[in-house]
Amino acid sequence: MSYNLLKGKRGIIFGALDENSIAWKTAEKVHEEGGTFVLTNAPIAMRMGSIKNLAEKTGSEIIPADATKVEDLENLVEKAMEILGGKIDFVLHSIGMSVNVRKGNHYTDMNYDFTTKGWDVSAVSFHKTMQVLYKKDAMNEWGSIVALSYMAAQRVFPDYNDMADNKAYLESIARSFGYFFGKDKKVRVNTISQSPTPTTAGQGVKGFDGFIAFAEKMSPLGNATAQECAEYTLTLFSDLTKKVTLQNLYHDGGFSNTGVSQEVMEAFTKDEE
C-alpha cells in the first residue's frame, strides 16, 4: 500500500549491498512512496553486492563513493543534485564495519589500526557526509538525515566488540551535528536503534543467532525486521515528523524497555528444575 509520502522528494541512500540490507529495503520503499534517489556504496562493496539490480528496479543511478574520503563525498553530493535536479530532502547512512570483529580480535586485545579504520567507516563518515551537505548547502529545509544504530551503544553485548563504541560515537555525532543542522538549515538528524537484524553486516558478529533468539524472546512485540525498519525510516523522511530531531529512536519491539520477559524467566527456571 502506498501513501505517496515522499512524492517529489530527492535523496541519497548509502550502503545497499543486497536484498537483506536495510538500505536496500528502504530504497524499495522510498521508490514505492514516490521518492527519487541516487544509490551509493564503496567500490569494494559494489563488487561484492548486487546494487545494479536495485538501481534498475528503482530507476536510480549509482555513484560510487568511499564515505571516509571527503573528495568522494563532495563528488557524490554534487552529482546527486545534478542527476536529481535540485537539493536533497533525505539521506540514509547505513554503513558500519569493524575489522577487529572480522579478524576475530577480542575487545581486550584490539589492533588499534583496525579500530581507527572501523570508527572512520562507521561513525566519522557520518560527520564527513553531513559536513559536505552542510557546507554545500545541499539540503532542502525540513530535510531529514537518518543513520542506523544498535543498542550496544548504551549497553554491553560482549561480542559486539568495538562496533559498540562506533555506534555510541555515531549517535553522538547525530546529536552534535544535528543541533547545527537544525539551527542553521532546518534539517533534522536522527538515528534509529534497530533490533538485531540478519543482514550481511549483522551476521559477522559472533553468536549472532543467539542474539536474535534472545531479543525475540525479550521483546513484547518481537524483533523488528529489516522491512519494518525501512518503513519506520520512511516516516522520518516524510513531512509527518518535521519536529523530530537529535533523537536516537528505538525500533526494537520494546526490547530496550524490557527488564526481563516471561519467556526468558521460564527458560531459566526450566534449567533449575
218 touches 211 (CB < 8 A): no
Laid out side by side, the sheet with 10-14 consists of: 61-62, 36-40, 10-14, 88-93, 139-149, 188-194, 248-251
Helix axes 22-32, 226-237, angle to 10 degrees: 50
DSSP letters, 124-162, are IHHHHHHHHHHHTT-EEEEEEEEEEE-GGGTS--GGGTT
Distance, in Å, from the CA atom of 15 to the CA atom of 95, rounded to the nearest integer, reads 6
Average pLDDT over residues 220-240: 98
Distance, in Å, from the CA atom of 273 to the CA atom of 267, rounded to the nearest integer, reads 10
Say which of 107, 150, 179, 232 is annotated catalytic.
Answer: 150
Average pLDDT of the chain to the nearest whole number = 95
Distance, in Å, from the CA atom of 39 to the CA atom of 23, rounded to the nearest integer, reads 9
Q: What are phi and psi of 191, to 5 degrees?
A: -120, 145
3 vs 201, more confident: 3
Predicted confidence at residue 208, as pLDDT, reads 80
| Residue 98 located in a structural domain | yes
- Closest listed residue to residue 229, CA positions, set 22, 20, 58: 22
Distance, in Å, from the CA atom of 236 to the CA atom of 5, rounded to the nearest integer, reads 10
Q: Kindly report, residue by residue over 14-41, the tens digit of the pLDDT.
A: 999 999 999 999 999 999 999 999 999 9
Q: Is 169 a catalytic residue?
A: no
Average pLDDT over residues 237-263: 97
Domain membership of residue 73 as a residue range? 10-272
Structural domains counted in the chain:
1
Q: Kindly report, residue by residue over 149-191, the tens digit of the pLDDT.
A: 999 999 999 989 999 999 999 999 999 999 999 999 999 999 9
| Residue 126 located in a structural domain | yes
The response to whether 202 counts as a known ligand-binding position is no
The response to whether 167 counts as a known ligand-binding position is yes
| Residue 1 located in a structural domain | no
Predicted confidence at residue 273, as pLDDT, reads 63
The response to whether 15 counts as a known ligand-binding position is yes
C-alpha cell read off for 40: 551509493
| Residue 198 located in a structural domain | yes
Predicted confidence at residue 48, as pLDDT, reads 82
- CATH code of the domain in which 158 resides: 3.40.50.720
- Looking at 49-105, list the stretches that DSSP marks H as alpha helix, in order from N- to C-terminal side: 51-58, 70-84, 99-102
| Residue 23 located in a structural domain | yes
**69 pLDDT higher than 70:** yes
Please, which pLDDT band fits residue 54 given cuts at 50, 70 and 90? very high
Predicted confidence at residue 40, as pLDDT, reads 98
Predicted confidence at residue 3, as pLDDT, reads 94
| Residue 5 located in a structural domain | no
| Residue 177 located in a structural domain | yes
**71 pLDDT higher than 80:** yes
Which SS3 state, helix, strand or coil, does residue 98 take?
coil
Average pLDDT over residues 223-234: 98
| Residue 4 located in a structural domain | no
Q: Is 112 a catalytic residue?
A: no
Say which of 107, 112, 134, 160 is annotated catalytic.
Answer: 160
Give Cβ neighbours of residue 41 (< 8 Å, ≥ 6 apart).
14, 15, 16, 17, 49, 51, 62, 64, 65
The response to whether 95 counts as a known ligand-binding position is yes
Give Cβ neighbours of residue 34 (< 8 Å, ≥ 6 apart).
2, 4, 5, 6, 7, 8, 9
